[in-house]
Amino acid sequence: MDEKGSWKECTATQRACPLEPAFVWTATANLAPLVTVKGCDSLVDNTGFCSWLLWGSVPAASGGGREVEQSLRLRWLAEAVCFPQALLPSRFLRWEAVEGQEQEAEAVLTYGGVCVRAIFRFDRFDRAASMRTRDFLRRRSNGTFDADGEWRVDYSGHMLFGLSRQGPVTHAELSTPLGIHIPTQINASWVFPDGTRFSSARFTIAKVTAE
């Protein structure tokens, strides 16, 4: 959704690395009849960049730098629920308890000398239900960055992806060794200090493959 409250539908493909924070996301969206835009967000070798082109060739928006890279690290962390082996403790990721919250844990990602934090909430089946952070920087239309508010990602529609037939998850399926359960609906939004909420993106996961 843009700042005027208008939803734009797009089709996207993402290639992500579960071993370290890295991904390349490409998308095509229709802004208006006969007006398409192609975008690419990437975090590779600790360098982040975003680029959007009208009709795939005319520059429309682009950006990089420290602020973009910080937010892209958090985006990789938020989307790691789709390749959950990336969420295991490692040389760059550790987990800390959240005081008084048994269903929550804070992920601390330190990579390239930069540390970002996000709190995950899990449902009664230990599946990721949401993530929230104040380290994600919101980029405004004028190119400036705003740290006011909380970036929240909600997960739902968990399904089994793997060797067995894909289908809705039931409690009995959670113990199967034939695949992994990941959310098929990911909704990202901003929650501002006054309590208002701005929904910025909604994604439906249609296919997951491993290489």
Q: Does the pTM exceed 0.75? A: yes
Domain membership flag for residue 168: yes
Of the candidates 44, 49, 54, which has an alpha carbon nearest to the alpha carbon of residue 67?
Answer: 49
Name the pLDDT band for 166 (thresholds 50, 70, 90). Answer: very low
Domain membership flag for residue 55: no
Domain count, the chain: 1
For residue 32, the model assigns a pLDDT of 77
Most confident of 47-61, 96-110, 158-172: 96-110
Least confident segment among 41-50, 56-65, 197-206: 56-65
Domain membership flag for residue 81: yes
Domain membership flag for residue 191: yes
Name the pLDDT band for 108 (thresholds 50, 70, 90). Answer: very high
For residue 59, the model assigns a pLDDT of 62
Which residues form the domain of 178?
67-204
For residue 141, the model assigns a pLDDT of 64
For residue 173, the model assigns a pLDDT of 42
Domain membership flag for residue 24: no
Domain membership flag for residue 152: yes
Domain membership flag for residue 23: no
How confident is the model over 27-53, as a mean pLDDT? 86
For residue 66, the model assigns a pLDDT of 85
Domain membership flag for residue 156: yes
- Mean pLDDT score across all residues of the chain: 83
How confident is the model over 95-105, as a mean pLDDT? 95
- If one compares 165 and 139, the residue with the highest pLDDT of the two is 139
For residue 163, the model assigns a pLDDT of 43
Proportion of the chain above pLDDT 70, given as a percent: 81
Q: Is the pLDDT of residue 79 over 80?
A: yes
